[in-house]
């Protein structure tokens, strides 16, 4: 269910005629591919989804059809095969799971994969967001990563995850998965601590142009505080980034 929703977030920042309709689209971090399939069903010309999860791509391949393909490869591997091939590249809440050291290389791959004038839309759920990079699935408090010690946050989330598995929920995570600072167990949910300002700086060095950066998880209180204290990342929330080659 989760993987089948959220694709329309891109409509908030750019018209479908510009990013979707009759476009060749790459979905980076597609996992099981339901969101990727909807891009094709709703007007894309061709769609490719990639993910490092063998489990995710094994499921996604069940949805393959003319114009829709899935690969268990990295963006760098794809860039060697499909330079300047895509009109649009999308990535939905994936970049917070890419290590800080790897982000520049991934953006270079995106630059290689895009046609001139092509767009990249990235929904980036930042660590200091009120959802704590998805940890709100387990801890029902705003900003769990600020309210609690990180070690205890991970320990608590792992206990909750074990409980969910016992009742047949959270199948998104393999049984051996553990929340930690490192990638593990075929889900690759490392939680990097890249802030919005960090990411904008990385983009500036990538050759891609940052067209817009729109916060998508701010409450009214956070918006007001961000106006009063614009340098405090806590109040910025997560961002939808529009990049252009």
Beta bridge partners of 140: none
For residue 65, the 8-state DSSP code is B
> Residue 36 pLDDT more than 90?
yes
Each residue of 98-124: b (16+ CB within 10 Å) or e?
beeeebebbbbbbbbbbeeebbbbbbb
Q: Tell me: the pLDDT tens digits for 204-220? A: 999 999 999 999 888 89
> Residue 233 pLDDT more than 90?
no
The pLDDT score that the predictor gives to residue 184 is 62
> Whole-prediction pTM value?
0.91
Residue spans per domain, the chain: 2-127+192-244, 134-186
95: left (phi over 0), alpha (psi -120 to 50) or beta: alpha
Beta bridge partners of 215: 239
43 burial class (0-12, 13-18, 19+ CB within 10 angstroms)?
middle
Class of domain 2-127+192-244: alpha beta
**75 in Cβ contact with 28 (< 8 Å):** yes
For residue 92 the two structure tokens come to 């939905």
171 burial class (0-12, 13-18, 19+ CB within 10 angstroms)?
exposed
Rg of the Cα atoms in the chain: 18
Average pLDDT over residues 141-152: 82
């Amino acid at each position: 269910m989760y993987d089948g929703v959220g694709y329309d977030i891109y409509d908030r920042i750019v018209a479908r005629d510009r990013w979707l309709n009759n476009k060749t689209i790459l979905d980076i971090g597609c996992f099981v591919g339901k969101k990727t399939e909807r891009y094709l069903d709703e007007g894309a010309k061709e769609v490719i989804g990639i993910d490092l999860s063998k489990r995710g791509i094994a499921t996604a391949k069940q949805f393959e059809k003319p114009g829709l393909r899935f690969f268990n490869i990295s963006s760098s591997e794809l860039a060697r095969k499909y330079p300047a091939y895509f009109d649009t590249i999308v990535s939905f809440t994936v970049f917070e799971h890419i290590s800080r050291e790897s982000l520049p290389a991934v953006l270079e791959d995106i630059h290689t994969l895009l046609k001139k004038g092509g767009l990249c839309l990235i929904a980036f759920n930042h660590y200091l967001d009120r959802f704590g990079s998805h940890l709100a699935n387990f801890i029902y408090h705003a900003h769990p990563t600020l309210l609690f010690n990180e070690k205890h946050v991970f320990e608590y989330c792992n206990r909750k995850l074990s409980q969910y598995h016992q009742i047949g929920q959270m199948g998104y995570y393999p049984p051996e998965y553990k929340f930690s600072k490192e990638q593990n167990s075929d889900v690759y949910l490392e939680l990097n601590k890249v802030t919005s300002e960090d990411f904008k700086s990385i983009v500036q060095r990538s050759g891609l142009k940052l067209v817009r950066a729109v916060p998508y998880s701010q409450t009214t209180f956070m918006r007001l505080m961000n106006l009063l204290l614009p340098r405090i990342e806590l109040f910025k929330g997560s961002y939808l980034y529009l990049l252009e080659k």
